[in-house]
Amino acid sequence: MRYLHTITKTLLPVFILAISSTSCKKMLEIDPPLDTISTVQIFSSDAHAEGALAGVYSRMVNGEGMQSFIDVPYKAYASGLSTLLGGLSSDEMTQVSGVSNFRAIQENKIMLTTSLGTAEVWSSAYKIVYGANAVIEGIAGSTSKDLRDSTRKQLIAEAKFLRAFSFFYLTNFFGDVPLVLTVDFNQTWNMARTPQRLVYDQIINDLKDAQAALPTGYTVGGGERIRPNKWAATAMLARVYLFTGEYENAMKAATDVIDQHIIFELEPDLNNVFSYQSREAIWQLKQTQENATLRNATPEGYCINPLVPFKHPAGARITPELLSAFEGGDKRYDLWLDSTDNTGYNPSAPPNYTWYPTKYKTGQSNAMFGVPGEYYMALRLAEQYLIRAEANALGASGGASAAVDDLNVIRGRAGIDLLPKTLTPDQLKAAIAKERQTELFAEWGHRWFDLKRTGKATEVLSQVGYKQPWEGDYQLVYPIPVNELQNNNRLTQNIGYR
């Protein structure tokens, strides 16, 4: 792939980010370097290797640079683009305003000329894969005595986790994708697509390696949950096992995480779930808090929340389909959604109220300098309860009764009636799908992936008015970027795109 050739020459410099200071506080608050530095130099010491990995984390949440954060959620899969595109492709959100127009995505009318945002998912995810590969190979190839064995073990494990995490999103958005496991251009420039099952096998292998090598606590992140540990790898394994139909493994992995009561608990107050101190957090991405535009907002919160609350349009609005999924008295409806008047300050226009997600409370209107508030949530405990519930409902040894118990933990926090143990199998499946819809909305494309993996996408989306006429199921995977096909004759396009 030409893309991988390009990043071989251009991405490596961003891995050395403030190697003069490797404190956890500053790990993700550092400027990109101006000059290149060789692989040997990068991994000549603990500080250099830490700086390299810091660059990978920074690129995930901060995107390509720190000058214009208004663009970040539209260009980086791990800082809001997965949420936005997944929400638009499903029945979760429509776009109201923003830098880019994703109308073709939300109407499921994608063509190669109207696939805005999909190429950015591909490129941003592969940049993280490349960065992780560079760390793994750079450490393996270093003979420096100043690079300690403990550092080698920690950073390789983290890099494998990040590689697995990125491949999960690549394969769920695009299907079969090239399984790039090296920075060697001779091996990557003309790679064919790898069957999805083999991609998942590699994801599982990487996560198992990370699970075995990473610590159980958060000391590496200075107490903050911004560096993946054993439980982050286990939580991601639970998700992957659910997606691959390995229900007993999914149940066991989710249980291992849920049972860490000293570390994790569901936040009783929904307003605290996405805070930087959330005990529900398993892994968060820490955005820069030094940028004059972003300040302490997450990129996603900055671009979705209205410029002026209640008066300006939001960056995305919640669909009637999602609004109607909430039961009466659901605290998630009250605390994770808000409304705004899309007419702005036009006194002659009648009010035009729409709803938008407010899981992240900090946006353009209330962001501040240097004050922690919210970090970007990547993995949280509530999902593990829902994974375990679904795994048990679909055949894991806990059975239907245990599945209902887990659903009721989530429903109890939301303040809605508990489910009876008398649900039929079909009713239980429907209850799980509904609970995932109302708990995990506007998070990383969960709804989009759920509709596809459960075979419900066509049934549900072909009934959404603004997506009609339904163009066909080919849009359940995004198109491979055209420039990738032009520069790699072994890549093939997903069926249906023209």
Residue whose pair of structure tokens reads 């290149």 in the numeric block: 36
CA 244/CA 232 separation, integer angstroms? 18
Residue 447 Cα distances to 71, 451, 463, angstroms: 24, 6, 16
CA 468/CA 476 separation, integer angstroms? 15
Please provide the DSSP assignment of 390-455 as one string: HHHHTT-TTHHHHHHHHHHHHHHHHT-PPPPTT--HHHHHHHHHHHHHHHSTTSTTHHHHHHHHTT
Query: What tokens appear for 153 in the block?
Result: 């073990």
Domain total in the chain: 1
Q: Is the pLDDT of residue 127 over 80?
A: yes
CA 83/CA 67 separation, integer angstroms? 22
331, part of any domain: yes
Query: What tokens appear for 319 in the block?
Result: 């669909």
Q: Residue 24: what pLDDT? A: 34
352, part of any domain: yes
317, part of any domain: yes
Instruction: Tell me, yes or no, if the pTM score tops 0.75.
Output: yes
Residue 396, Cα to own-chain centre: how many angstroms? 26
Pick the more confident residue, 2 or 296: 296
Instruction: Using pLDDT thresholds of 50, 70 and 90, give the confidence band for residue 1.
Output: low
Q: Is the pLDDT of residue 431 over 50?
A: yes
98, part of any domain: no
Lowest mean pLDDT, pick from 42-51, 108-117, 155-164: 108-117
Q: Exposed (0-12), middle (13-18) or buried (19+): which is 217, by Cβ within 10 Å?
A: middle
Q: Is the pLDDT of residue 65 over 80?
A: no
CA 172/CA 476 separation, integer angstroms? 9
Q: Is the pLDDT of residue 278 over 80?
A: yes
Q: Is the pLDDT of residue 9 over 50?
A: no
Structural domain span for residue 315: 299-370
138, part of any domain: no
387, part of any domain: no
Residue whose pair of structure tokens reads 């539209």 in the numeric block: 74
Write out pLDDT tens, residues 284-336. 999 987 777 888 999 899 989 998 888 888 989 999 999 999 999 999 999 99
What average pLDDT does the structure give for the chain?
Answer: 89
355, part of any domain: yes
Can you tell me the mean pLDDT for 436-456?
Answer: 98
Residue whose pair of structure tokens reads 């998912």 in the numeric block: 121
406, part of any domain: no
List Cβ neighbours of 266 (8 Å cut-off, separation of 6 or more): 280, 381, 382, 385, 409, 410, 413
Torsion, Cα 462 463 465 469, to 10 degrees, reads 30
- If you compute the radius of gyration of the chain from its CA atoms, what whole number of angstroms results? 22
CA 234/CA 257 separation, integer angstroms? 7
